[in-house]
Chain A
Amino acid sequence: MAVDRSRLPAVGSDPPFAFPTAHRLTLPNGLDVRNVEHRKMPVVSAVLLLPGGSAMDPAGRPGLASLTAALLDEGCGGRSGLELYQELGRLGAQLDVEVGMDASTVRMTTLGRCADAGLALLAELVSVPRFEADAVDRLRALRLDRLAQLRDVPAAVADRAFARLLYGDGPYGHLPSGTRPGIRALTRADIVAAHAGAYRPTDATLVVAGDGTRAQLERMATSAFGGWTDGGSTGTDDPAARATASADANGLEAARLVVVDRPGAAQSELRLGHVGVARGTPDYFPLLVMNMALGGQFTSRINQNLRETHGYTYGARSSFEFRRRPGPFSVATSVHTRATCDAIREVLGELHGVRDGRPLAPEEIARAKAALTRGYPRGFETAEQIGRGLAQLSLHGLPDDHFTRFGARVAAVEAADVARVAQIHLDPARLAVVIVGDQAAMADGLPALGLGAPAPMSLP
C-alpha cells in the first residue's frame, strides 16, 4: 500500500503514564527515605538532597555551600582522598555533586552488584568528611583559578551579571560557584560550620531507585545511613526565612541595562528579564504553558523570530526559574554583534506581543501543552531521573502523585489562564538587560532601546 503523503499521520492518544510508586520510610535519625523499584537495568542510583544551597551562603562568603560540597570527596572517615577515589574506581561508581541556589544534591550511580558498598561510601562522605586543611587550601586555589577562567566565558559572565542585576546582595544575587573575594575569605571553620548546618539527616531526603525489591532498597538505605547523626548541631535557620530577609534587596534597582564590555567579541551574550515567581505560585501550570509557547522550545515565538526569521542566533530560549523564593524570568541568547540591538528590540516586541497585540493562538497553546505533556514519560526513563524527580518533590513539598497528575493539570489550563499570567507575570516595562559584548560596536543603537544609559558593573 502506498504511503499517504498528502497529510501527516495522526498521532494516537497519549499512552498511559504513571510515575512509579515511591515507598517512604523515616529512619530513627529523621532521614526521609524514598525508594523506587526500577528493574530495567542492573543499576542503582541514590540521590541525597540537602536543602539550603547557595542562597544560604552568609554575607561575604559567596561560594561557601559550593566549596563545602566540592570537599566531600577529598577524604572521609578513615579514608584519604586517594583511597576514597580508588574505591569509587573499583566500584565503577559515578559520583556527582551539584549545588543549586536552593539545595545541594549528592548523587551516586553504581552497578546493582556494587550498590551496598556504593551507598555506604556515599553515607560516609556526606556524614564524616575530613575537610583537611591541605584539601581546603588546594580546592580554594582551584576554585579561584576556575572563577578567573570563567571571566573569559561570555555565557558565564552574563549569568553572573544578570543574577547580580536582579538580586543585588540578596541570596539569589550570586551564582553557587561564588566570587573570588568570597572564596578567598573562606576558612576551614566556615566550611565545618556550613557542613554541620546543612548536612543533617533531619533535613535531608534520600531517594534510592533501581534494580532491587522494596525490601532490598530499604535495607540498603537503612544500613548505609542509619548511623548518620546530626552531630549535636542545631542546624541553621529555616532557609526560606533566611532568603526572605534580603531577597528583594537589589543594589542596582535603578539600572535596567548593563553592558560588560568585551572589545572585539564576535557575539553578544544577552540576558533579558526580571524577578519572576516562586515554585509555590498557584499560576505554575499556566506559566509553564505560556512560557513554552513564548520561548520554551524550538518552535516557540522567540526562537522562531531570532533564529529562523532573522538568523541573528543559533538559538534563543525563555524560562521561569521556579525556586523556593521568586526566581528569575529570563530570555537567554547569543547573537551576532551587529544584531545586538535588533535582537533586544525583537525580544521586547515578543513580550509586548504576547501580553497585548498578539495573544497566543489556540494552536500555539495546544502545541505548548503537547510539548509539555506528550514527551513527559521520557523524563523518567533512568533510575537517576526518577531519583532526581523525587528529590525535587521533597524540596518543594509536593505530593507523591505530582508527576502522575502533571499531564491532567497542564491539560486543564485554559486560554484565559495563559493570557492572565502573561499580563501578571511578564513585565516588559521592568525588563532588565545584560549585554556581554563589544560595547563600541553597538553603542550607537543602545539609546533607542529606551532602557536608559548602560550602567557599569564590577563583578568581584
Chain B
Amino acid sequence: MQEARNAGAPPTGMHVPFTKQTLANGLDVIVHEDHGCPIVAVNVWYHVGSKNERPGRTGFAHLFEHLMFEGSQHHDQGYFQPLQQAGAALNGSTNTDRTNYWEVVPTSALDLALWMESDRMGYLLPALSREKFDTQREVVLNERRQNYENRPYGMAGMATMAALYPADHPYHWPTIGRAEDVRAAEFDEIRSFFETFYRPGNASLTVAGDVETGRALALVEHYFEEVPGAPTPPASEAEAPVLADEHRLLLEDRVELPRLCLAWHSPRLYGAGDAELDLVATTLSNGKASRLYRTLVHERRLATDVTVMQSSRELSGVFQIVATAAPGHPLAELDAVISDELAQIGRDGPTDDELERSVAQVEAYFVYRLQTVGGFGGKSDQLNGYNVVIDDPDHFEADLSRYRAATGAAIGEAVRRRLVRSPRVAVSVVPRGGGSLALPGSAAAQVS
C-alpha cells in the first residue's frame, strides 16, 4: 500500500488537504475531511469514456454507465432505491475521457454507499440480463432524441467534432453515440468492456466530507480490497490532429435564428497555452463588458448571444465560438466581426485591465465551485480529476497559478498561433430553407 499526503504543502495558496492511498488491487483512494455539514461525498472516476470506443461501436461507454445503475450481484435491483431511501443524491456522467459516479449521503449512510459502489465494481456482470440491456438501450435512444435530435441546434456539436477530427480519431464521434451504433450494440460486448475498463486499477475513489480520515480509509479498504486487480488498460493515444483547410458546413434545423459555430484545435487539458486560451474565452465572452458581447450584441446588434470556450480534454482541446444571429443578419456579418476581434487580440493581447479582470473571475469561480464536497464539480470530483489526469490530487494551487502567470504577450501569441493562423471548422445552423444565411461555400453536413 502506498501513501501520500500533502501535509508538507506550503501554508499559502489554494489547497484542499487530503490523504491518498493505493490499495493492493490498484484502486486509488483519496480522503478529504470537511465537517461543515453532516454529509459525505463518495465519488468514483473510471478512466474510460467514448475515446475508448471504436468507429461503428460508439455510444457503448455511456450505455454502460446506464447499466451500472441497474443492479449488481448482491443487490440485483435498482441502484437508486436504497440510496435515495437513505437520503442520498446520486448521479453519473460519461464524457470523452472518463465516466464518473457520485453519491452525497448523510454521514450515517457512508457504509451503504461504499457497499453499493464496491458491489458494482466487483460484481456487476452476474446481474446483467439481456432485458436490462434492451431497456436501457431504449432509454439511451430516448435521451438522444430528447437532448440532441429534438433540441434546437442539438446536432451542431456532433457536426463540429465530426469535421474537426478524422473518422478514426477518438474524439470524432459523440459520447451519446451514433443512433445506429446504439441500436446495434451487442449484449455480449458488456463482459469484455467491464473486464477491460471497470477495474480498480483504472479507477479513483474520493471520500470527502464529515468523516475522520482513518475511518474512511478503513471502510474503503474493507469494501474494496476484495475486488480483484487486473492489468490497467493501455492509455489512449492519438496523433495530434491537424486540420489542413477550413471546413464550412451547413445544417438545416427547426430553428428561428441562424447560429454560427466555429471550432479550432487547441491545447489539451493542462497543456501549454490551455490557461491562456481560457483567459481569451473569458475576455471575449464572459459578461457584458467582454469584447464579443460588446461588439456583436451590444453595439452592433448583430447577434443575440455569444459564447466562447476553451474545452480542453486529455488528448487535445477544442476552442469554440458560438454566436446566434439577430434577425436579418447573415452569419457572414458575425464572422467578419469575430475575425476582426481575434486579429486584434492576437496582435495586441488583452489590456492590463482585461487581464486583471479575467484572472479575478477565473480565481473567484474556482473557489465558488469548491463550496460543495460532492456532485459534479465539487471538491471530491476535482480531487479525482486531478488524480486521474495528472496523478496528483494536490494540484489546486498549481492549476490556479497557471492563470496568475499568464501574460498578455503569451495570450496574444496563443491567439495568433492557435486561432488566427490555424484552419477552423465553421458550422452554420440555419432555419429550413435558409441556406443563404450560412457562410458562403458551406456544404451540407452529414450527421446521424
Chain B residues with CB under 8 Å of A15's CB are: 38, 106-108, 210
Chain B residues with CB under 8 Å of A307's CB are: 139
Complex contact A314–B139 (CB within 8 A):
yes
With an 8 A cutoff between CB atoms, is B336 at the interface? no
Interface of chain A, main secondary structure: mixed
Q: Given A85-B289, A314-B146, A382-B372, are A111 and B38 also a contact pair (CB < 8 Å)?
A: no
Complex contact B81–A367 (CB within 8 A):
yes
Complex contact A11–B112 (CB within 8 A):
yes
Complex contact A381–B301 (CB within 8 A):
no
A97 → chain B, closest Cβ, in Å? 13
Interface residues of A in 9-36 (CB under 8 A from B): 9-17
A350 → chain B, closest Cβ, in Å? 18
- In the complex formed, the residue of B with least CB distance to A9 is B111
- In the complex formed, the residue of A with least CB distance to B107 is A15
Of A43, A90, A146, A262, the residue contacting B360 (CB under 8 A) is A90
Interface residues of B in 70-94 (CB under 8 A from A): 73-75, 78, 80-82, 84-89
Q: Given A85-B289, A90-B360, are A148 and B75 also a contact pair (CB < 8 Å)?
A: no
Q: For the complex, what is the distance from the CA of A447 to the CA of B157, rounded to whole Å?
A: 40
Q: For the complex, what is the distance from the CA of A174 to the CA of B141, rounded to whole Å?
A: 33
Complex contact A89–B38 (CB within 8 A):
no
Complex contact B145–A267 (CB within 8 A):
yes
B193 → chain A, closest Cβ, in Å? 22
Complex contact B255–A92 (CB within 8 A):
no
Interface residues of A in 121-146 (CB under 8 A from B): 138, 141-142, 145-146
Q: For the complex, what is the distance from the CA of A13 to the CA of B106, rounded to whole Å?
A: 10
Complex contact A378–B108 (CB within 8 A):
no
Q: Quick check: which of A165-173, A224-232, A368-376, A395-403 contacts chain B, the rest being far away?
A: A368-376
Interface residues of A in 289-308 (CB under 8 A from B): 297-299, 307-308
Interface residues of B in 21-62 (CB under 8 A from A): 34, 36-39
With an 8 A cutoff between CB atoms, is B257 at the interface? yes
Q: Quick check: which of A56-64, A150-158, A199-207, A448-456 contacts chain B, the rest being far away?
A: A150-158
Chain B residues with CB under 8 Å of A373's CB are: 87
Q: Given A3-B223, A11-B109, are A89 and B287 also a contact pair (CB < 8 Å)?
A: yes
With an 8 A cutoff between CB atoms, is B166 at the interface? no
With an 8 A cutoff between CB atoms, is A358 at the interface? no
- In the complex formed, the residue of B with least CB distance to A437 is B150
With an 8 A cutoff between CB atoms, is A42 at the interface? yes
B152 → chain A, closest Cβ, in Å? 4
Chain B residues with CB under 8 Å of A42's CB are: 367
Complex contact B37–A381 (CB within 8 A):
yes
With an 8 A cutoff between CB atoms, is A412 at the interface? no
Of B81, B116, B257, B288, the residue contacting A82 (CB under 8 A) is B288
With an 8 A cutoff between CB atoms, is A431 at the interface? no
Complex contact A381–B139 (CB within 8 A):
no
B305 → chain A, closest Cβ, in Å? 8
Of B88, B104, B142, B149, the residue contacting A313 (CB under 8 A) is B142
B444 → chain A, closest Cβ, in Å? 18
With an 8 A cutoff between CB atoms, is A392 at the interface? no
Interface residues of A in 259-316 (CB under 8 A from B): 262, 265-267, 297-299, 307-308, 311-314
Q: Given A90-B356, A92-B365, are A378 and B138 also a contact pair (CB < 8 Å)?
A: no
Q: For the complex, what is the distance from the CA of A88 to the CA of B290, rounded to whole Å?
A: 12
Interface residues of A in 79-96 (CB under 8 A from B): 81-82, 85-86, 88-94
Chain B residues with CB under 8 Å of A14's CB are: 87, 106, 108
With an 8 A cutoff between CB atoms, is B428 at the interface? no
Interface residues of B in 291-324 (CB under 8 A from A): 294, 297-298, 301, 304, 324
Q: For the complex, what is the distance from the CA of A109 to the CA of B365, rounded to whole Å?
A: 10
Complex contact A311–B357 (CB within 8 A):
no
Mark interface residues in B362-385 (1 if CB within 8 Å of A CB, else 0).
Answer: 011101101111100000000000
Q: For the complex, what is the distance from the CA of A333 to the CA of B111, rounded to whole Å?
A: 34
Interface residues of A in 93-120 (CB under 8 A from B): 93-94, 109-111, 114
Interface residues of B in 90-143 (CB under 8 A from A): 104-109, 111-112, 115-116, 118-119, 123, 135, 138-139, 142-143
- In the complex formed, the residue of B with least CB distance to A16 is B38
With an 8 A cutoff between CB atoms, is A425 at the interface? no
With an 8 A cutoff between CB atoms, is B222 at the interface? yes
Q: Given A14-B106, A381-B39, are A145 and B304 also a contact pair (CB < 8 Å)?
A: yes
Complex contact B150–A154 (CB within 8 A):
yes
Of B84, B146, B374, the residue contacting A299 (CB under 8 A) is B84
Q: For the complex, what is the distance from the CA of A393 to the CA of B319, rounded to whole Å?
A: 44
Q: For the complex, what is the distance from the CA of A165 to the CA of B365, rounded to whole Å?
A: 41
Chain B residues with CB under 8 Å of A6's CB are: 74
With an 8 A cutoff between CB atoms, is B5 at the interface? no
Q: Given A111-B367, A154-B150, are A374 and B289 also a contact pair (CB < 8 Å)?
A: no
Complex contact B152–A375 (CB within 8 A):
no
Q: For the complex, what is the distance from the CA of A114 to the CA of B368, rounded to whole Å?
A: 13
Complex contact A381–B372 (CB within 8 A):
yes
- In the complex formed, the residue of B with least CB distance to A307 is B139
With an 8 A cutoff between CB atoms, is B13 at the interface? no
Complex contact B360–A370 (CB within 8 A):
no
Of B82, B143, B297, the residue contacting A314 (CB under 8 A) is B143
- In the complex formed, the residue of B with least CB distance to A112 is B367
Chain A residues with CB under 8 Å of B149's CB are: 266
With an 8 A cutoff between CB atoms, is A340 at the interface? no
Complex contact A299–B139 (CB within 8 A):
no
Chain A residues with CB under 8 Å of B116's CB are: 8
Q: For the complex, what is the distance from the CA of A5 to the CA of B361, rounded to whole Å?
A: 48
With an 8 A cutoff between CB atoms, is A189 at the interface? no
Complex contact B371–A381 (CB within 8 A):
yes
- In the complex formed, the residue of A with least CB distance to B109 is A11
Complex contact A13–B108 (CB within 8 A):
yes
With an 8 A cutoff between CB atoms, is A73 at the interface? yes
Residue with the highest number of chain A CB atoms closer than 10 Å, among B89, B112, B145, B294: B145
Complex contact A265–B256 (CB within 8 A):
no
Q: Given A151-B256, A299-B81, are A3 and B118 also a contact pair (CB < 8 Å)?
A: yes
With an 8 A cutoff between CB atoms, is A322 at the interface? no
- In the complex formed, the residue of A with least CB distance to B75 is A8
Complex contact B150–A371 (CB within 8 A):
no
Top-3 shortest CB links A-B: A374-B87, A92-B364, A85-B289
A to B CB contacts below 8 Å, 15 in the list? A89-B286, A89-B361, A90-B357, A92-B360, A94-B365, A149-B324, A151-B256, A266-B150, A267-B142, A297-B80, A297-B84, A311-B139, A374-B86, A375-B104, A381-B373
Q: Knowing that A1-B222, A93-B364, A267-B145 are A-B contacts, what are 11 other residue pairs whose CB atoms are under 8 Å apart, sorted by A's residue number?
A: A40-B371, A43-B371, A73-B288, A86-B353, A111-B364, A149-B257, A314-B143, A334-B150, A371-B85, A380-B37, A383-B371
